[in-house]
Structure 1
C-alpha cells in the first residue's frame, strides 16, 4: 500500500487523521480506506478545496446590498456559482466562481467599486479540513463541575437532602426558562407571517418539569389552523376575493404548497428555508428527514441554545402534559428522576451527546422511574388506565387514534399512601431493575405492570387502545412495537418502544450498573453520612464509570462462559407464533431451539466430534450437578436449598436419557441432556473434541474464499455456508494433527428473576498444548453471532 498523508503509524496500528479513528492492522486499514465514510470525507475535502480556490472574500459594501447585486457585479469576471453573505450583520460576503480563472481575474484587478463604495477583495482564507470536534458542541456537561457538585452534596446531612439538592442544582433556572420563551415567541412571530394561524408549542424537557441547563428546546409546529386558512383562501380566490391588483394571491408561500397533501419532508424544507433566511439569530439549520419523526434542527447564536421542530406532533405535547401531571402528583418524583438521570449519564448508559445512538434517552429513563413508582407497594403513582378512569368527560382526549385521556390537574387524583423516603425509593429502584427480566418482558405504564413478551411475538398488526366513540380510531391499525433487549412502551402510542434503539451491549452495561448500584445501596456508605469526611450517599454512587477497571460483576464474567441473549426481533414469524402459544413456558421452547442450533454449530460448522467420555450415569450427573449448583450459587448469591417453581440460575437436576431428544437428531455417541420441565431451568450437557485449529486464520481464509464465490461478505458468524467452507479448508490444510482439545459444555436457560438468556459454561478436560484459551476467545465472538444467524433462518 502506498504511503498516504492521512494515515499515521502508531504503536497499536494506524490512525486515520482525516476520519479521526484508530485502525488495528493493515487489512482493517485497507477496508477502512475503501469504506463509505473515508471516501465521502475525501470527496468532501476535495470539494471544499476547490471551493476555496474558486472563491474570494469581499467586504466594504452597504449592509442592504443583496446577493443578486454582488453576483451581477462579479459576473464580469466569469460565471458566479454562489454568493454567501454574512446574515447577521452583512459585513462580508464569499463569492464563489465556477472556474478558478475567474478568481485569478478578480484578484488581478486592483480596485473594485459598487454603489460608490470601494470594495475590499482578497483571496478566501484557506482552512485545514477536519471533522468538527464532538467535545466542542458537547452541552451535556452540567454548569457545575463534578468536584463542586460532590462538595455541595457532602454538605447535606442525608441522602434525602442530597436528592433534593440535585433538583436545585440542575433544574432550569428562571433565566433559562425566559430564554426559551423568547425563542418560542421569535419563531411564532416569524412563522405566522408565512404560515398564518400556525402555532409553535414547546414540549419535552424544557416544559415537563424535568429539564436541565443543557436540554434542547423541542417544538411542535401545529399547522391544523393554517390548513383551514388555506382552504378558506382558495375558496375566496375562486370567488375573486383576497387578491392583489395584479391578480396574485397575497399569501405567496401558501400558494406554492398544498398543506393537506404535502409530505413531511416538503413541509420541513419550507420551515428550514424560513429559519435560514428570515429568522434573526438562528443558524446551523438542518433537516433530518430520516428520523422516526422528521425534524428541523437549529441553533440560536446569542442564547447558545439548540432546538428541534417537528410537524403536527400532538402526541409529544400530550406526553409532556402527562409528565407534568406525574410530577405534580408527588413531590418525590422530580428528585428521583433527576438523580437517576445523572447516575445513568455518569455510568455512560444514557445521555448520548450527539443524540440517537444505542444509549437510553432521558424520556425512556423517566418512564422507567415512573413505572417503578407504579409498581412499588403501596404505589406512588397510578397507572395510565387508572388515571383515565379518574378523568371527567371534558378531559377525554384522542390523538391519532390513541386514547390519551387523563386528569388535567393533580387535585383530581387521590394522594398516595406510600410513605417511603427518597433514600428508600432510590434503593428500591436499583433493586427492582437489577432483577428485572428486560428481554422477556414489556414495560407498560398504561397497565401499570409488565406484559409478557409472548403477547407481542405473534402480532403482525395491533389495534390501538382507542376511545369507543371514534369509528376512525377503531379502524386504525399499526405495526407492533419494535422488540429488543429493552422494551418500554410509550404510555399512549402503544406501538412505540421508546427503548427500541438499545443494543445487547448497552443492555449488558445497563444490567451491570443496576446490580452495582443495588449492591452499593445496601452499604452503610450509602445510607449514612461519613463522620471522617469520606464520600458517601450519592457522591459515591455518581462516581463516573472508568473503562478497563474490573468490578465484582466483571470478575464473575471472567469465568469461561458465553451468553446467548433472547432477542425476539431476529426470530422468524413462525417461531414467534410458536413462542406466543407457549405463553409462560416460551423460555423452554426457545432454549430447546438454541440447543439444537448449538449442535449444528459444533458438529456441522466447526467439525467437532463427540468425546468418548460423554456417557455419564445418573449418579455421576447428580454429583456433578450438585457441585456446579453449589459453585454457581456461590457466585450469584443464590440459596442452594431453594427449589421454588420459579427459575433460578445455576440449579441442576439429574437427567435421564429418555428425557433428552431422540438419537436421530443427535450425532451418534453424543447425547444432549435436556430437562423438559418448565418448573426448573433447562439444562443441557455435551462433551466435544476438536482436533484441528479451526480458530486460526479464519478471517483471512474467509476473504480468500469470498473472492471465488457468489456469497456476499458478512461479519464472522454471519453465514453458515461460508463458515463451514472455512472450517473445511483449515482441516484439509492441517492433514497431520498432533494434539486434540477435549472440552465440556454445559448450557442452562436463565429467566424469570433474571434476564432471559442461555448461559454456556465451558471447561477443558484435555488440553495438552494449551489451546483452550485461544479457542474460547474465538467462540466468545463467533458463537453468539452464529446462533443468531441460524435462529433468524430457523422455522
Structure 2
C-alpha cells in the first residue's frame, strides 16, 4: 500500500472522515427557529448529527429538498458596489428583519446572497425597492428577489474591514490540485482531498436552490402554484463545482384539490385549453417560459428553446450566478434517479470519493466531454462505480431490487408506468461490513472494468450482476427505472476501447505504487493517474509499438526526473509543477 505515514483522514472513524470532507466554511448569523440555526446539522445530511457518533442520523432526500426550498424562498440576491462596508450593508438590510445567513461572491461584479429569518422580510425589502430609471432606455418593470444596491454617497462607504471574504465557486486549478495530492499521506487521503476540493460547497448549493427559486418567480406569473426544482448533480451528492444546473418546472400541484374538502353532488373543474398530446403541451409551456425568461427574467441571457429534442428544454445562462441552466417540465423520473444516487452516496462515505475520482480521471483523459457525442457520460460512470461496489464481497452497496424490498407503503412510487419504488429512509439501510480501503477499491475498479466482457454483458444495478446484452451497442448500462433503455447507447466502440485501455494502464500504475514506494518530490498515486500525458500516449492505438507497461514506465521515469529537477531548491516538501 502506498502511504506517507498515517494519514489524518485515515486515522479518523468513518463518520468523522465524512464530516471533515463535507463541511464548507460559511458566514452565519444566529436566527432562532430557522433551518440556519442548525446549519451544522444541515450540512451533515450525509453523516451523523454529532461528529464521530456511532448513531447515524441521515436525512431523507425529500426532507433536504423541502428545507432547501424554504431556505431559498427567504433569500435574496443583491448586486453590490465593489467597495462596500459589510457592517453597514447588513445593518441596512436588518431594518427589514433578522438575517440568518449571508455570503459574498464574485461573478460579473460583486454579489451578496442574504437569507432572512422570515419570508415577510423579503416582501418588506421589495416594498421599498424602486424600478431604476434608465435614461434614454426603457426599463421593463419586474418585481423579483434579484436587486441592485446603489450608494447615495460612495465617499462615505469606507469599509471597516480590509477585505470582504468571498465564497469560492470554482474548482481548484490543476497546479494547486497536484500540489495537494502530492503532499497527501496516502492514496486514501488523495481521494478524500479530491472530493473535498471538487464537491459543491454549502454556499454553492444555496446559490443553486436560490437560482431555481428566482426562475420559479418568473414561471409563477403564468402558473401560480408551480415549483422549479433542481435535479441531477446539483442535488444527488455527486455534483462538482462548475457543473451545470438542471431544473424542471413541476406543474403537478396545479389544480389539485383535496377530495375530502368537496361535498355534495358537485365537482368544480378549471376551464383549460386542450392539445393533442402531453409532448405538445410541454413544448408550448416551455416556449412561453423561454420567451418570458428571455424578455423579462433578470440575469437570464443566451436563452435557447430546444423544443424538438427527445426531452424538450430551455437552455440559458444565469449571468449573476454563473450557472449554465437546463429547464425541462415534469421530469419526475430524473428527480427519482437523483434521490437514488443521493441514497447510494449517503450510505457509505467511500462511494462519493470513488465516484469523484473516477469522473476526474475520465475527464483528465478526455473520456468524458461537455459536448454531446460518443463519449461516456458522468451518469454512466457513476452507474459503473455503483455496480462495481455491489459486486464486492461483502457488497458495499445494496442492489436496487433490495432497496425495493425494504420499501413500505409510503415509499411506493409509479411514474409514467415505471416502478420507481425504493426505501426512502436511509436509516433503515444496514451499513456494509466491507472495510476495504479506497486505494484498493480504486485499483480493483480499474482491474474489474479493464477485464469486463463488454461484448456480451450489460451492467444492471437493479440486480447487481452481469446480464446478457439485449442489443448490439458497445456499452450497455440498463436505465434503473426505464429498464428498456440503455443510458450509454451513445458510446462508440472506439471510446469504450479507450476506456478499457486506460483502465488497464491505471491499474498497472497503482500496482507499481505498491512496489516502488516513491519518496518525496515525486508524482505518485492519484496525481500520476490524472496526468493528461498518459491519455495522449494512449490516443492513437494503431501507433503503439511498445508494450503498455514499458511505455508507462518510461513516462513515469520522465515525470519523476522532471519533478526532481524542478524540486532541487525545495527542502522537505513534495512539489509539482504543472499547467493550471
Q: Same fold (TM over 0.5)?
A: yes
Whether contact under 8 Å (1:528, 1:537) holds in the other structure is: no
Indicate the residue corresponding to 1:97 in structure 2.
none
Indicate the residue corresponding to 2:431 in structure 1.
415
| Secondary structure at the counterpart of residue 215 of structure 1 | coil
Match of 1:215 among 243, 252, 267: 243
Whether contact under 8 Å (1:556, 1:635) holds in the other structure is: no
Q: Does 1:358 align with 2:386?
A: no
Indicate the residue corresponding to 1:531 in structure 2.
519
Cα shift at 1:62 = 4.7
Distance 1:635 1:223 in 2: 54
CA gap 1:65/1:363 in 2 versus in 1, 3 angstroms: closer
Indicate the residue corresponding to 2:478 in structure 1.
489
1:475-498 C-alpha deviation (Å, 9 max, x unpaired): xxxxxxxx5111111111112211
Cα shift at 1:199 = 1.6
Distance 1:344 1:353 in 2: 12
Distance 1:191 1:335 in 2: 37
1:422-461 C-alpha deviation (Å, 9 max, x unpaired): 00001110000000111311111111111112xx25xxxx
Cα shift at 1:208 = 0.5
Indicate the residue corresponding to 2:34 in structure 1.
none
Indicate the residue corresponding to 2:391 in structure 1.
375
Indicate the residue corresponding to 2:350 in structure 1.
332
Indicate the residue corresponding to 1:270 in structure 2.
288
Indicate the residue corresponding to 2:186 in structure 1.
158
1:615-638 C-alpha deviation (Å, 9 max, x unpaired): xxxxxxxxxxxxxxxxxxx9999x
Distance 2:170 2:188 in 1: 21
Distance 1:261 1:530 in 2: 59
Cα shift at 1:163 = 0.5
Distance 1:556 1:450 in 2: 33
Indicate the residue corresponding to 1:15 in structure 2.
none
Q: Does 1:433 align with 2:449?
A: yes
Match of 2:201 among 162, 166, 173: 173
Q: Which runs of 5+ in 2 are unaligned?
A: 1-133, 142-146, 149-168, 258-265, 551-580
- Report the TM-score when normalising by structure 2: 0.61
Whether contact under 8 Å (1:326, 1:381) holds in the other structure is: yes
Cα shift at 1:275 = 1.3
1:49-83 C-alpha deviation (Å, 9 max, x unpaired): xxxxxxxxxx95253489xxxxxxxxxxxxxxxxx
Q: Which runs of 5+ in 1 are unaligned?
A: 1-58, 67-87, 90-140, 230-237, 243-248, 458-482, 560-633, 638-795
Indicate the residue corresponding to 1:516 in structure 2.
505
1:657-701 C-alpha deviation (Å, 9 max, x unpaired): xxxxxxxxxxxxxxxxxxxxxxxxxxxxxxxxxxxxxxxxxxxxx
Indicate the residue corresponding to 1:347 in structure 2.
365
Whether contact under 8 Å (2:347, 2:429) holds in the other structure is: yes
Distance 1:216 1:261 in 2: 24
Cα shift at 1:326 = 0.4
CA gap 1:161/1:241 in 2 versus in 1, 3 angstroms: closer
- Report the TM-score when normalising by structure 1: 0.45
Cα shift at 1:196 = 2.4
Indicate the residue corresponding to 2:531 in structure 1.
543
CA gap 1:528/1:411 in 2 versus in 1, 3 angstroms: farther
| Secondary structure at the counterpart of residue 380 of structure 1 | coil
Match of 1:187 among 215, 222, 226: 215
Structure with more of its chain in strand, by fraction: 1
| Secondary structure at the counterpart of residue 202 of structure 1 | strand
Match of 1:291 among 309, 324, 330: 309
Indicate the residue corresponding to 1:321 in structure 2.
339
Q: Which runs of 4+ in 1 moved over 3 A?
A: 238-242, 254-263, 526-529, 545-551, 553-559, 634-637
Q: Does 1:145 align with 2:173?
A: yes
Match of 2:136 among 46, 61, 77: 61
Distance 1:261 1:406 in 2: 28
Indicate the residue corresponding to 1:384 in structure 2.
400
Cα shift at 1:215 = 0.7
1:257-289 C-alpha deviation (Å, 9 max, x unpaired): 799684432222122112112221111111223
Whether contact under 8 Å (1:158, 1:528) holds in the other structure is: no
Indicate the residue corresponding to 2:107 in structure 1.
none
CA RMSD of aligned residues (A): 3.3
Distance 2:321 2:405 in 1: 43
Whether contact under 8 Å (1:158, 1:529) holds in the other structure is: no
